[in-house]
Amino acid sequence: MSGDQIGEPTKSRRRIIFCRKRIRARDVPAKIAEGVPSVILGVLLNALDAASTGLLVFPSAQEGPAFANLQVEAMSLYIMSTITSQLAMTLGGSLFPGALGSMLIEILPFLRGIASDIQGVLGEESPKLLPTVLAAYSLTSILVGVCFLGLGLFRLGWLVGYLPHTVLTGVIGAIGISLFELSLQLTLPPTASEMISKEHMPLLIASVLPAAFLVISLRLKSLAKLTGGFTEHAMYVPAFVFTVAGIFWVVVAAQGKANAEGMEDLASQGWLFSLTASSSPATGSASWNYWRLFDFSMVQWSALNAATQNIVLLVVIGVVNLPVFIPAMAMMLDEPQYSMNWELIGHGISNLLAGATGSLPNLVVLANSRLFTFAGGGRPEALAVTGFTCVLFFTSKHLLPYVPTILASILVLFLGLDLITEALWTSAHELLWSEWAIVLGTVLACTFIGFLPGFAMGLVIALALMIKMLS
């Protein structure tokens, strides 16, 4: 049942959602203290996501010199998308009080595909490349926003439910494989022979093993019992990540490299990020100011035709993710009276805001919202998280040099492995063999022949099996 089949929230229900009992002045310190853990958690999640997936917004330097040295701008785009999403969700765009939103991570392969398609038309050295890519990124936010808003205003949220869940699961699994590959590019050369070389093997092991452990530890019930439920606690993932960072800096200090010269050496070996001036024309603006990369007089709109396939796929993935996430979130957070159309309108507004600020498509984040809510987070705490995230927007350049590259790689690897596990392993225990065959076929097709033909092939397989079952 969708949220709209269950019923729209009544006025009294909305009053419960949007208003809290008046708090007496003497209770304010206690309320603030209660909210501190959830605020810390929300800010940590945003910071860790920005320092990992945010760095993959543009293609790697090996794919084109125009995209080199844009780490801070990439993080700024990601953080601004998170801010616009969070504001829209918290100020009424979502009926879930603890909803946290950010850039939709599943669209990363398509964003990079758009950039590569445009580069194929304009060339690596064209001064029109970056302005055109940024304009295309903003356009995707607007298109996703228009789709969400249209579906919500015309109360058509139920339409998306007709897409086969097995095909969507397969696409998500293929996205997981793509994210796994992209995460390795944060620390390692793009070719497999160099990646497994003696020189780069420590980086590979330090990235893959912790990510694999994190995925397994979150699923092992025996480990949860052994640790007194800590692996199921909201702070487990942030604590794990900061433990890895702590071990890294202890080892660095023990080797006597915790100084400027040592850090430069670590950056040259790929263990730390090396921040240099952007390759875009210098304007004297701060590095977080990604708006300086926009120049609409330089945008080559005709080049967007080459990126049509990736733009369409990005919009489709963005639109179909929400009807998948929202019912699951309602079940996890015990909010049976959610409204799919309400969430669609809220997400339409948040994505139009993202487009207006020149940033990226966004969506409510199921995992982050779940952790935040279980930690006691609500609308006031979410507003506080948004405020601190704004501070992060202006200070990311100063924080990034101290973030080990393996930390960023681990988080994206974790997400990729988690999506793959959900698509292929978890679904194998929940679906019939014929349904799981659709998932596997879609994963393989999307991985080896491309997302659009793979998605189409998955639909064909699903339709063929349905016809066979009905005949």
Q: Kindly write down the DSSP assignment for every residue of 78-116, as one continuous string.
A: HHHHHHHHHHHIIIII-S-TT--EEE-GGGHHHHHHHHH
Q: Are residues 354 and 399 in contact, defined by beta-carbon separation less than 8 angstroms?
A: no
CA-to-CA separations, 344 to 104, 220, 349, 367, in angstroms, rounded: 15, 35, 9, 19
68 or 389, greater pLDDT: 389
The pLDDT of 444-465, averaged and rounded, is 87
Of 86-90, 296-300, 410-414, 436-440, where does mean pLDDT reach its minimum? 410-414
pLDDT at 411: 81
Bridge partners for 362 per DSSP: 103
3-state DSSP assignment of residue 314: helix
pLDDT tens figures, 55-65: 889 988 777 78
Which are the contacts of 459, defined by CB distance < 8 A and separation ≥ 6? 164, 167
**What distance in Å separates the CA atoms of residue 135 and residue 85, rounded to the nearest whole number?**
19
pLDDT tens figures, 141-194: 999 999 999 999 998 877 766 778 788 888 888 888 988 888 887 777 666 566
Q: How far is CA 319 from the centre of its chain?
A: 15
Structure tokens at 397: 């350049």
Average pLDDT of the chain to the nearest whole number: 84
Bridge partners for 272 per DSSP: 404
Max mean pLDDT range (42-56, 73-87, 333-347, 419-433) = 73-87
**What distance in Å separates the CA atoms of residue 190 and residue 220, rounded to the nearest whole number?**
33
pLDDT at 86: 94
Which are the contacts of 171, defined by CB distance < 8 A and separation ≥ 6? 317, 442, 446, 451, 454, 455, 458
Q: How many CB atoms lie within 10 A of CB 326?
A: 28
Of 271-285, 329-343, 452-466, where does mean pLDDT reach its minimum? 271-285
What are the two backbone dihedrals, phi and then psi, of residue 223, each rounded to the nearest 5 degrees?
A: -70, -35
Bridge partners for 102 per DSSP: 363
**What distance in Å separates the CA atoms of residue 112 and residue 60, rounded to the nearest whole number?**
9
Q: How far is CA 127 from the centre of its chain?
A: 29
Length of the chain, in residues: 471
Structure tokens at 174: 């293929």
Q: Are residues 320 and 163 in contact, defined by beta-carbon separation less than 8 angstroms?
A: yes
pLDDT at 285: 54
Instruction: Please report where in the chains the tokens 């850090």 appear, as a residue.
Output: 263
- For the chain, count helices (H), then strands (E): 19, 2
**What distance in Å separates the CA atoms of residue 142 and residue 268, rounded to the nearest whole number?**
39
Q: Give yes or no for residue 52 having a pLDDT over 90.
A: no
Q: Give yes or no for residue 33 having a pLDDT over 80.
A: no
Which are the contacts of 33, defined by CB distance < 8 A and separation ≥ 6? none
Bridge partners for 101 per DSSP: 364
**What distance in Å separates the CA atoms of residue 128 and residue 121, rounded to the nearest whole number?**
11
Question: By C-alpha distance, which of 88, 76, 82, 79 is closest to 102?
Answer: 82
Of 41-50, 68-77, 367-376, 397-406, where does mean pLDDT reach its minimum? 367-376
Q: Give yes or no for residue 10 having a pLDDT over 70.
A: no
pLDDT at 282: 41
Question: By C-alpha distance, which of 78, 81, 109 is closest to 171?
Answer: 109
Instruction: Please report where in the chains the tokens 């918290």 appear, as a residue.
Output: 90
